[in-house]
Chains A and B, each alone.
Chain A
Amino acid sequence: MKKLLVIILLFLLPFTTGCWDKVEIEQRVFVTEIGIDKNGKEEGINKMTVTYQYPNINNIGKDSGGGSSNFLITTESSSVFQAGRQFMTKVPFPFYYKHLKVVILGNEFLKEENLIRVVLDELNRDTKINKRVRILAADTTAKEIMEASFNKEQRTEGTIYATVRDNRNTSSYTTKSLADIVTDFDIAGVTLIPRISLDEKGSFVVSGGCILKNYHFLDWIDPVENKVINLINGDMVIETIDVIYEQNLISYAISETETRRDIKVDDKITADINVQVEGYLQGYTLSDKSSIENDEIIMNMEKAIESEMMKAARRTISHMKEVKADLIGIGEHISKYHPKEWDKIENDWDDIFSEVEINLNIDVKIRRIGLTR
């Protein structure tokens, strides 16, 4: 008899519940991109203008209707998730953040340290958001960029995400995820996020970067500087460098790099950075006979490339010292390999960084030259 009671109770259990979390998949709105701008109005609690992008489900799959591939909505809000709540008055279905891929921060917004801290904490704390959302800095407002791109090419995840997903194809910008940014801030106080802007025709361009320091905007850097930074950090994957050599253009493609840092901490901090670059010759000039006859020519080419790269590197390093942004990992290195010294200088690192003697040595090797001589 007792067994029967238990079984009946267990059987009734499902019918007494409300299936609290059950929401049909087509009744959810998947937010793929969020853009955050500074709200023009100064008073009130709504300091941000938040824009959500979500896909038009009807357009996916084989029965695509017409219509744009994504939708955008904007509101003023005090925080990112609060915007989601406010949208509930306009959108029939609840938002689902697990598939958020990209967050764009508008240029005015970047200067507000408190707001950035608020946003980053929100994103970090939330249980649903994937910590690998890519964060971008816009040099106009985020809203403009999203408006320009949302109904372009048909891509379920959003075109911006597809472009910025990783650095596999170019080093003009450095992809950063939320996790990366937080870690960078923890260790070095500075981070570098890709810069997105609009070109003349109104489509978006991701190139160059934006330095954030202590949760606010520091400076922009151009694509070449970005490439140098990536190179020194060992993150460069494939990149092509143009060098003029004896009035001809050498097109050199980098395939592998290796960086070795040797940092000595005495009264002065000296950083010897050796970068080993390997690559192949992408293009030269087609002459009547073979253009590359002997080893010497290759070595001269390598030297030309090195000097070109050193020029760019020197420019970049002085820019960094000028704005006091240690983007090449010197502080991080010291904190790991010379922890005792780092404890002493950690607090004054900003100023000390400008005084660090950085000896950069780039060694370029052309390993392959393609199919012709």
Chain B
Amino acid sequence: MQKKNVISNNQIKNLLVTTIIGVGILSLPSNIAVVLDNDGWIAVLVSGLLIIPFILIIDKLFKMYPNKTIFEIGEEVLGKFIFKIFLIIIAIYATITLAYSIRVFGEVIKAYLLERTPIAVIIITMLLATSYASRAEIEILGRVATMVYPILLALFIFLFLINMPKSDYTDILPLFNADFTKLPRGIMVTIFSYAGYEIIMVAYPLTDNRKDTLKYTLRGLFIVIGIYLAAFFISLSQLGVNQLKRTLWPTIAIAKEVDLPGYFLENLDGIVIALWVLIVYTSVGPLFYIGGKTLSYIFNTKSHDVFILPLIPIIYLISMIPDNIISVYDEMGRILSYFLIASIMAVPAIIFFAALIKRRRRRT
């Protein structure tokens, strides 16, 4: 019989991939091409590799405190008060990220599918639907991720295949011609696309096979990097670097560009957008869950679903703050990158180092 609260390593990997890949992938090739031209892929790769040490930190942390949840560890290592402050930062991060993602999502749907429907309707229905998932426990999210994961892979393979006939691979050149002083800025742009990996902090302690979890998690990260690189190269070879810089959402644009009437393949952006709704759903759900869980810990409630529904209006209001899509990417994106570094990088690192110090102190 299945014990409650168990996740398999495979589910953790799928959870990682589907949570990270969300709204970011639509604009990623374009945003990074603006900074680094044809060499944007370098920033994508480097950002991905930068996440590895954080995953290792988390793995180590759970090895030091086996069978404890991240909340218990944080409390033990940092003391309740400081830890709760960090959690507040994380909760704010989660809320703002949700608002950002859902706003971008709404804009895309409005642009491609539902022109006249008010964006509020699109956003609120999406939030209501995701609340159904986020009110559940993490192992349910793992199962959902496992079911959506093959769809995600299939979508990218499909995109790759349909673009093959008309791609000009020489458009990827010239390589290594960009201004490398811009690389740090490029990394700032791309690092945001890897947000979501922190879901493993919640999922780690519940795995059924502690030994291999790291292997699976890293495999998941590499798959994400691979998919991002593939998206970048496909967009680049289809659109050419200048059009890529102009296009807001190249990943959908390349599906739109397919026109093989002989094979009855026209206007494929419908399929891409339809599946993309699922992809965004699986990236918003776990984030929502983290928000709820964090708040539940701060306010000491028994379960987290009390917070989910009240968060919906808050997220909606925040998402409506920017006036238009440019300001979403610009201002909100900037605020978000600070919170991001603070919460998903600084927090695990600080907990880890504090734990190290504690251990050393205990030894002496």
Query: What is the total number of residues of chain A having a CB less than 8 Å from a CB of chain B?
Result: 22
Q: How far is the CB of B46 from chain A (nearest CB, A)?
A: 21
Besides A130-B259, A130-B266, 12 more A-B contacts (Cβ < 8 Å) are A10-B128, A17-B121, A20-B114, A20-B118, A21-B116, A131-B253, A132-B259, A177-B259, A179-B243, A182-B243, A186-B240, A187-B240
Known A-B contacts A131-B253, A179-B257; the reply to A336 vs B174 at CB < 8 A is: yes
Report A328-344 CB contacts with B as 1/0, cut-off 8 Å.
Answer: 00000001110110000
> How far is A110 from B243 in the complex, measured between Cα atoms in Å?
22
Q: Is the CB of B242 within 8 A of A130?
A: no
Q: How far is the CB of A187 from chain B (nearest CB, A)?
A: 7
Q: How far is the CB of B42 from chain A (nearest CB, A)?
A: 15
Secondary structure type dominating chain A contacts: helix
Q: In the A-B complex, list the 3 residue pairs whose CB atoms are closest, starting with the nearest.
A: A186-B242, A339-B174, A336-B173
Q: Is A127 an interface residue (CB 8 A)?
A: yes
Q: Which residues of B contact A124 (CB under 8 A)?
A: 246
Q: How far is the CB of A330 from chain B (nearest CB, A)?
A: 14
Q: Is B181 an interface residue (CB 8 A)?
A: no
Q: Is A216 an interface residue (CB 8 A)?
A: no
> How far is A124 from B242 in the complex, measured between Cα atoms in Å?
13
Q: Is B239 an interface residue (CB 8 A)?
A: yes
Q: How far is the CB of A22 from chain B (nearest CB, A)?
A: 9
Q: Is A27 an interface residue (CB 8 A)?
A: no
The residues of A with any CB-CB pair to B shorter than 8 Å are 10, 17, 20-21, 98, 124, 127, 130-132, 165, 177, 179, 182-183, 186-187, 335-337, 339-340
Known A-B contacts A179-B239, A336-B170; the reply to A130 vs B115 at CB < 8 A is: no
The B106-140 residues at the A interface (CB cut-off 8 A) are 111-118, 121, 128
Q: Is the CB of B257 within 8 A of A132?
A: yes
The residues of B with any CB-CB pair to A shorter than 8 Å are 111-118, 121, 128, 170, 173-174, 177, 239-243, 246, 253, 256-257, 259, 261, 266-267
Q: Is the CB of B177 within 8 A of A183?
A: no
Q: Is the CB of A130 within 8 A of B267?
A: yes
Q: How far is the CB of B174 from chain A (nearest CB, A)?
A: 4
> How far is A124 from B240 in the complex, measured between Cα atoms in Å?
14
Q: Which residues of B contact A179 (CB under 8 A)?
A: 239, 243, 257
Q: How far is the CB of A154 from chain B (nearest CB, A)?
A: 17
Q: Is the CB of A186 within 8 A of B114?
A: no
> How far is A336 from B261 in the complex, measured between Cα atoms in Å?
31
Q: How far is the CB of A1 from chain B (nearest CB, A)?
A: 16
Known A-B contacts A336-B170, A336-B174; the reply to A127 vs B111 at CB < 8 A is: yes
Q: How far is the CB of B306 from chain A (nearest CB, A)?
A: 12
Q: Which residues of B contact A339 (CB under 8 A)?
A: 173-174, 177
Q: Is the CB of B256 within 8 A of A20?
A: no
- Closest partner residue, chain B, to A179 (CB atom): B257
> How far is A334 from B261 in the complex, measured between Cα atoms in Å?
34
Q: How far is the CB of B335 from chain A (nearest CB, A)?
A: 27
